[in-house]
Amino acid sequence: MAETMYTVNGMTCGHCAASVTEEVSKIDGVSDVAVDLPTGAVTVTSDAALDETAVREAVEEAGYELSAQ
């Protein structure tokens, strides 16, 4: 199992967090997504390390921006 933390810009409410969670959860191998709305932190648990491009695309599909790490 791998756990990776990202920062997402632009989330302001529970619906925002739910949208990001839904899109990131669609990535193959993702088993859990935890969003901390006040900080924008998104912790993704997966079977193996994820391609950051796939995460970025999922976050953008939800309408938000992945912060540069």
pLDDT in tens, 4-48: 999 999 999 999 999 999 999 999 999 999 999 999 999 999 999
Specify which residues 41 forms β-bridges with: 7, 36
Domain positions in the chain: 2-66
Residue 7 tokens read as 């920062």
pLDDT value of position 45: 98
Residue 68 in this model has a pLDDT that exceeds 90: no
What are the residues whose beta carbons fall under 8 Å from the beta carbon of 28, sequence distance 6 or more?
none
Residue 15 tokens read as 């619906």
Looking at residue 40, the DSSP 8-state letter turns out to be T
Instruction: Give CA separation, 37 vs 4, 7, 43, 48, 49, in Å.
Output: 16, 10, 11, 25, 23
Residue 69 in this model has a pLDDT that exceeds 70: no
The domain defined by 2-66 folds into: Alpha-Beta Plaits (3.30.70)
pTM equals: 0.93
